[in-house]
């Protein structure tokens, strides 16, 4: 967690206040709350006429979409790096074998 972020942060989730504590030292709670606030603002801006529970569902779907997209990017990067590593290992092996 970053030094400037308090151990407990507050999140206003569609009118409900939650106090969140970081149980995992690798989770930057301020970054998490900032991300959630951006998602909430996006939903509020585009769907303020919907009932609160429907806006919550839209927020969950949007967060889920971001998660799936990030997982795909990570998988693609892992494949690309693995391919590059394998090519480098082959080149090193061919030089050593000479």
Q: What is the pLDDT of residues 44-72, one digit of tens each?
A: 899 989 998 898 899 999 999 999 999 99
Q: Whose CA is closest to 74, among 64, 85, 82? A: 82
- Asked if residue 6 lies in contact with residue 32, where contact means CB atoms within 8 angstroms, the answer is no
Bridge partners, 16 (sequence order): 13
Q: Kindly report the length of the chain.
A: 98
- Residue 1's pLDDT is 44
- Residue 2's pLDDT is 46
Residue spans of the domains in the chain: they are: 8-97
Token readout for 49 is: 């006429």
pTM higher than 0.75: no
pLDDT 10s digits, 20-50: 887 777 778 888 888 988 998 999 899 989 9
- Residue 53's pLDDT is 86
- Reading phi first (left if > 0) and then psi (alpha if -120 to 50, else beta), residue 17 is in beta
């Amino acid at each position: 967690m970053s030094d400037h972020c308090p151990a407990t942060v507050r999140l206003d989730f569609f009118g409900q206040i939650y106090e969140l504590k970081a149980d995992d030292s690798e989770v930057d709670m301020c970054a998490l709350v900032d991300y959630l606030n951006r998602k909430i603002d996006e939903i509020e801006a585009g769907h303020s006429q919907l009932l609160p529970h429907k806006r919550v569902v839209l927020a969950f779907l949007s967060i889920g979409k971001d998660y799936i997209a990030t997982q795909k990017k990570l998988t693609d990067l892992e494949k690309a790096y693995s391919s590059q590593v394998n090519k480098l290992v082959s080149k090193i092996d061919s030089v050593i074998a000479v």
